[in-house]
């Protein structure tokens, strides 16, 4: 795997204490933590919303070696409470955001509209959209002109688990078709099961890292950080401890079949 983002020993006031992360290209990585754990601050530093002297390498260069106007061509940040638009409709915004409105751009817009199920939003006035619709709209706008890195902050507050599953499924398809690195923050550990890699942070420090199904078995550490282990992970661990199964199983039907073998 190719590392596209290196976060090296980042400090930021009382919010972050010596944070280091390595994000592989064309993957989905989640940063989980309770409220006030520092995860949103870290995302804003990577997205250059907060100006620091942090040692962060993106695509082979320190993020501060890019002109800001160039950096935001490659990196998009979605923070639900800070979404703003200029024009009246999403359709107008997508056309403006496309580098050049030609057949390729039209095809890309059609792909995003279909994949994110936002056709009904296209002609609505922006101020008529719900926060959930604004987030989906911002996803489309972030991807229409081939961003390399997408930073998404805490959208689990606005979508249920089934909706989050659909969004992550779309992002995986997008990565396969176009290439993209996704880094998102969440308080919902169910969402992290769709990611390739997971960091858990608490009080501004990384306390766990690794493949999600492995990390999430550290229930004591996770609970102390103010987070809840996903039900199927917790159940699988308990059943494994009683020698009823020998692996983590996330599908309920498969779990029942395994127990009754």
Question: Can you tell me the distance from the alpha carbon of 105 to that of 23, in angstroms, rounded to the nearest whole number?
Answer: 28
Query: What per-residue confidence (pLDDT) applies to 36?
Result: 86
Helix segments in 3-130, DSSP class H: 39-46, 68-74, 90-97, 103-116
Provide the percentage of residues in the chain whose pLDDT is more than 90: 63
Q: How many structural domains is the chain composed of?
A: 2
- The domain in which residue 77 lies consists of 3-218
Specify if 225 maps to a domain. no
Is residue 176 located within the same domain as residue 258? no
The CA distance from 123 to 92, in Å, is 8
Query: Both 142 and 18 in a single domain?
Result: yes
Looking at residue 230, its pLDDT comes to 86
Q: What is the pLDDT of residues 103-121, one digit of tens each?
A: 888 999 999 999 999 999 9
Strand partners, 182: 28, 150
Q: The domain that contains 182 carries what CATH number? A: 3.40.50.300
Quick check: 181 and 6 in contact, CB under 8 A? Answer: no
Regarding whether 203 and 99 lie in a shared domain, the answer is yes
pTM: 0.90
Which residues, including other chains, have CB under 8 Å from residue 246's CB and lie 6 or more apart?
240
Give the mean pLDDT of 80-96.
79
Residue 145 lies in a domain: yes
Considering the domain boundaries, does residue 204 fall inside one?
yes
For residue 233, give Cα distances in angstroms to 131, 171, 192, 196, 226.
31, 23, 12, 16, 17
Q: How confident is the model at residue 261 (pLDDT cuts 50, 70, 90)?
A: low
In a domain, 223, yes or no: no
Contact assessment for residue 214 and residue 198, using Cβ atoms and an 8 Å cutoff: no
> Do 59 and 106 belong to one domain?
yes
């Amino acid at each position: 795997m190719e590392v596209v983002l290196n976060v090296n020993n980042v400090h930021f006031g009382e919010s972050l204490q010596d944070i280091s992360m390595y994000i592989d290209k064309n993957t989905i990585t989640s940063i989980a933590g309770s409220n006030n754990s520092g995860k949103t601050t870290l995302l804003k530093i990577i997205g250059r919303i907060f100006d620091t002297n942090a040692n962060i390498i993106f695509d082979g260069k320190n993020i501060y070696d890019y002109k800001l106007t160039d950096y935001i061509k490659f990196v998009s940040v979605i923070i639900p409470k800070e979404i703003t638009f200029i024009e009246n409709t999403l359709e107008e915004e997508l056309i403006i955001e496309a580098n050049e409105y030609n057949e390729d751009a039209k095809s890309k817009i059609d792909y995003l509209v279909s994949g994110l199920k936002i056709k009904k939003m296209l002609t609505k006035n922006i101020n008529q959209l719900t926060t959930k619709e604004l987030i989906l709209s911002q996803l489309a706008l972030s991807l229409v002109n081939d961003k390399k890195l997408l930073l998404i902050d805490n959208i689990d507050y606005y979508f249920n688990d089934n909706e989050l599953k659909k969004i992550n499924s779309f992002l995986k398809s997008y990565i396969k078709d176009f290439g993209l690195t996704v880094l998102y923050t969440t308080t919902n550990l169910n969402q992290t099961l769709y990611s390739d890699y997971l960091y858990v942070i608490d009080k501004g420090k990384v306390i766990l890292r690794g493949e999600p199904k492995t990390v999430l078995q550290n229930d004591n550490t996770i609970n102390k950080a103010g987070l809840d282990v996903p039900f199927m992970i917790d159940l699988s661990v308990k059943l494994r401890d009683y020698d009823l199964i020998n692996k983590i199983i996330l599908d309920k039907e498969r779990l029942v079949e395994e127990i009754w073998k």
